[in-house]
Amino acid sequence: MASVPLRWLISRWGDQLFGDEFPMPMTSERLATFDSDDHDRRLHDGVFWEVEDVLGALEEAIAIARQLLVANTIARARSMRVQRPLTDQWELMRRAHPDGISENPETGERTGMDLVATFRHIQFEIYTHIFNIQRSKMALGISPVVRLPNAGYHTVAGWDSGLPEFGAAVADLSRI
């Protein structure tokens, strides 16, 4: 989850938000540990293995997101756009957004996303990751502690959001 904000705010939005400069204290080398094809959209396992390192990465991502929220008005955030690829997953995900999604002027596909929708996307991604962690815990017979709001991609019709039977995976693990 710590890589999601930086992959979006720097990798996709960086040219519009930061120009050629990285937000402090981020460097291109540091960003590579957050956003690398070698690690499939997750933090670099060799750098972020300990819980403290992962929490530190999350704090870095939150600090940069906070800087952007302070530095940009809603009007400016609504006026900016990035394009994302049109995929079946995006067709499903965009239904969760009440606004901020627009047509690509070149293709007519609804692949444009303003900065407000991007922050909502980050929030929905985090909620959905937490939801999936809770599903895993339930399958292991561990009660979720946090009640999630009724928001996130997992709430969209068509998303795999089924809940396992409580403790269903325990029997499977005992056979290992």
What share of the chain has pLDDT > 70, as a percent?
Answer: 88
> What secondary structure letter does DSSP report for 69?
H
Report pLDDT for 36. 65
146 vs 45, which has greater pLDDT? Answer: 146
Report pLDDT for 41. 67
Q: What tokens were used for 92?
A: 């499903």
Decide if 61 contacts 35 (C-beta within 8 A): no
Q: Which residue has the tokens 């809940």?
A: 163
Report pLDDT for 47. 78
Q: How far apart are CA 83 and CA 74, in angstroms?
A: 19
Distances (CA, A) of 6 to 25, 28, 41: 12, 12, 11
In tens, the pLDDT along 20-34 reads 776 666 667 777 776
pLDDT higher than 80, residue 159: yes
Report pLDDT for 49. 85
Q: How far apart are CA 151 and CA 6, in angstroms?
A: 21
Q: Give residue 173's pLDDT band: very low, low, confident or very high (50, 70, 90).
A: low
**Within 10 Å of residue 117's Cβ, how many Cβ atoms?**
23
Decide if 117 contacts 8 (C-beta within 8 A): no
Decide if 26 contacts 60 (C-beta within 8 A): yes
pLDDT higher than 80, residue 15: yes
Report pLDDT for 25. 64
In tens, the pLDDT along 109-130 reads 888 999 999 999 999 999 999 9
Report pLDDT for 110. 86
In tens, the pLDDT along 50-108 reads 899 888 888 888 988 999 999 999 999 999 999 988 888 888 888 999 999 998 888 88
